[in-house]
Amino acid sequence: MKLSFASSAITALLISFCTGTHAEGTPSSAADPGFTEVVFAVRTPNRAGDPHWYANFGYYCPDPNRKAYGNNGYLCKLNIKTMAVTNLVSDPKGAVRDPVVSYDGKRILFSYRKGGTEDFNLYEINVDGSGLRQLTDGPFNDIEPCYLPDGGIVFCSSRCNRYVNCWLTQVATVYRCDGDGRNIRQLSPNIEQDNTPWILPDGRILFTRWEYVDRNQVNYHHLWFMRPDGTGQMVYFGNMNPGDVFIDAKPIPGTRKVVMVNSAAHGWTDHEGRIAIISDASGPDARAEQKIINGGRDFRDPYPLSADLFLVARKGQLLSMKADGSTSNIYTISGALAADGAWLHEPRPVMSRPTEPVLAQQVKLSESTGKLLVLDTYLGRNMGGVNRGDIKKLLVLETLPKPVNYTGGMDPLTYGGSFTMNRVLGTVPVEADGSAYMELPANRSYFFVALDANDLSVKRMQSFTTVMPGENQA
């Protein structure tokens, strides 16, 4: 089946950016980026009508015959000068998602569910459509891959074998593997969803983490980062203040800003939302550092070409968007695919790009534990009212995933709102200077309760932390 598209004239701005000239023909102040092609995926969203942003793979727990994925799977390449479209992968009964172009601009990494099968796995293909090869396999969903500077691949996967604590679909968390798909290793112990890992200019991984450790289950899905070996996991932006899903975040070239989708409230279908720009210059809690540049609720998949120009998807459209939020249509799906509800997803320029720094590995995979030093329990982002000397020990708890979940209702295990079981590991003393030290089993989700001399709670952590094998974290 050949894809049928209808196009509008490509915007003068995008022509200018791709040719190095302004519409009048004068030299552009921006360097020629050196690409004339854009790769993107086409697929139909969740056919079950599920509005949740994460319900786009696997099946529903009460009924394995109810699938969370759609069909009409195509991997396409558009020449933005001639408007010619090449189908690199065509699978009307399958699904294609999450393409990303290699650093040298010669290969495309993507997630693919072949028609007649149930699971997404990672594949790679040359940009000319030759050399299709499968990288991962098994009864798991491997999605949202990204190339790593060290030659590996970071991606999200249902290999964690857990379900959303308050819904009926499966969870995917962050993993990594070698460039050929071997040596798969979990990086995130999250009991809830992780999404859309991407590489920051300093070589760390930026990603979306959803969590609700003893707090509201629909308000905390913000941006975190980690090193490519999983060490040093820390909040990048959000998590303190409730509201909105921050997803599909990517660094803007030449700035310390990030473009992302702000999917309002608890998120919308397949990452739909508003396009926003944030900066971490004032820390992770500076809400004023987020600017929504276009408030339309159905944009997806922003890709920054410069500080003033982005590729975005909107239903069946490929658009350009300027930093002021104005948009112009580049291409639109038409014909039978449009009639069947197929959308255009994840546009990426076909071009080479600089490789970020390779960060030294800090894990020792032969070890089963990691070490954590809390330098001062009294220093934190929300420690008002706690006086120095109040805290005598830390109660260490592990929040446990749900291997199955049959309800979509708001059915907490406790009156206070715990949706999952917590396991007590023990306590560690807090020294007079506020420090505490512990050795913990690696790759699990921990949170702490600060206790006073009577073992009463002084402060309760409402997020989680982790250590990787052999990690020394402070």
pLDDT over 90 (residue 408): no
| pLDDT (0 to 100) of residue 216 | 87
Domain topology for 369-473: Immunoglobulin-like (2.60.40)
Kindly give, in sequence order, each residue whose CB lies less than 8 Å from that of residue 78, ignoring residues fewer than 6 positions away.
37, 38, 39, 40, 84, 85, 86, 318, 330, 331
pLDDT, average across residues 210-236? 95
| pLDDT (0 to 100) of residue 45 | 95
- The mean-pLDDT minimum among 21-35, 246-260, 376-390 falls in 21-35
pLDDT, average across residues 214-223? 92
- The structure's pTM equals 0.93
Phi first, then psi: give them for residue 160, nearest 5 degrees: -70, -15
Band the pLDDT of 25: cuts 50, 70, 90.
Answer: very low
Kindly give, in sequence order, each residue whose CB lies less than 8 Å from that of residue 417, ignoring residues fewer than 6 positions away.
214, 215, 216, 217
Cβ atoms of residues 18 and 291 within 8 Å: no
Phi first, then psi: give them for residue 335, nearest 5 degrees: 70, -150
- The mean-pLDDT minimum among 21-25, 164-168, 407-411 falls in 21-25
Ranges of CATH 2.60.40 domains, the chain: 369-473
**pLDDT by residue (tens digit) across 358-371?**
999 999 999 999 99
pLDDT over 50 (residue 157): yes
**pLDDT by residue (tens digit) across 261-290?**
999 999 999 999 999 999 999 999 999 999
Ranges of CATH 2.120.10.30 domains, the chain: 5-349
**CATH class of the domain comprising 5-349:** mainly beta
Q: Which residue has the tokens 């049928």?
A: 4
| pLDDT (0 to 100) of residue 380 | 86
Distance CA 299, CA 213 (A): 30
